[in-house]
Amino acid sequence: MSSQLDFAQQAPGAVGMSPDHPAAAHLAIRDRAAGQLAGLGGRHTIAICGFASSSRHRIPIDDPDAIICTLNQLYRHLPRADVHFDLHREWRGGNVEGTDHPTWVRDCGIPVYLVAHEDALSTTLTYPIDRLIRKHGVDYFTSTVAFMLAWAIDMIDEAVGPDAERADYARYTIGVYGIDLIVGTEYEVQKACVEFWIGIAEGRGIQTDIAPESALLKQRYRYGYDSEPEIGLLKLQELAARQQELNTRKNKLIAELQTLDGAAQENAHISSVLELRLRGGQIPLGGSG
């Protein structure tokens, strides 16, 4: 039995990833240290896949012309993966409880890109980060998805050859499925970088297939041409004006409370002095002498 099943490497309801899927690409490794595969095996679509349920169903699992690229422990949800990426120095940690990710990497039967390949794990390759930085002249990688896109572009560059024209690139597609990047640092740091690499692909003439449900390459409205769209009970500018009004009222109330607090303290002081005088004390009102 495969390690995917031996070590509960499938998510609830999933069947477990199999390297022998009928549409599997069976890509060969050329040079593990250099991070090179022996080409795309004649295929023309590279599917970059993530966890987002909004468009994960669009991953072309059964397409024999597609190469399915997964990351982290996405293989738990899919019946097929052809190339895997786990680009974290501490990749053995932080995995789903009850799973054995290192054993899956050892036994998965597909190429797995790590920060540095490990001799004991014959499936692993070193991600060619230094070469890709030199090639593109930019060190801009804020997520695993960005690494995957840069790798896909590089693989297509190799497939078309050095003298390729735009029409040669047009025969290839990079699809992006199960990726939104709209929460927290994914939106603040990762989304723009992923869109940058999609732009690099488009610039070469590579076709890009972005799932229609994805938040990538989407604008809420065209700046300068469209007014702010209705997206809820109130527009953002109305909410901003309301927030400013509330802050102004709050500041006025704080100032009034501070004034009232000072008056209450003064009143309490005078009351205490008068009580002490009634008892025969010679207490000045100012508390001195």
Phi, psi values for residue 3, rounded to 5°: -65, -25
Inter-helix orientation angle 144-160/191-204, to 10°? 10
Distance CA 170, CA 94 (A): 39
pLDDT at 54: 87
Q: Could you count the other beta carbons within 10 Å of the beta carbon of residue 24?
A: 19
**Using the 8-state DSSP alphabet, how is residue 208 labeled?**
E
* SS3 of 151-164: HHHHHHHHHHCCCC
pLDDT at 235: 63
Distance (Å) of CA 150 to CA 44, 69, 73, 154, 202: 16, 12, 20, 6, 12
Q: In the chain, what are the domains?
A: 3-210 (3.90.1480), 231-289 (no CATH)
65-85 CB burial, b ≥16 within 10 A, e <16: ebbbbbbbbbbbbbbbbbbbb
pLDDT at 79: 94
pLDDT at 45: 98
β-strand pairing of 83-85 with 112-114: parallel
Give the pLDDT of the chain (289 residues) as one tens digit per residue. 344 454 457 888 788 899 999 999 999 999 999 999 999 999 999 999 999 988 999 999 999 999 999 999 999 999 999 999 999 999 998 899 989 999 999 999 999 999 999 999 999 999 999 999 999 999 999 999 999 999 999 999 999 999 999 999 999 999 999 998 877 877 778 999 999 999 999 999 999 999 988 889 888 788 888 776 665 555 666 667 778 888 888 888 888 888 888 888 888 888 888 877 777 777 777 644 4
pLDDT at 14: 83
Distance CA 111, CA 84 (A): 6
Give the rounded distance of the alpha carbon of 266 from its chain centre: 58
This prediction has a pTM of 0.78
User: Residue 241, SS3?
Assistant: helix
With a CB cutoff of 8 Å and minimum separation 6, the contacts of 158 are 39
pLDDT at 289: 42
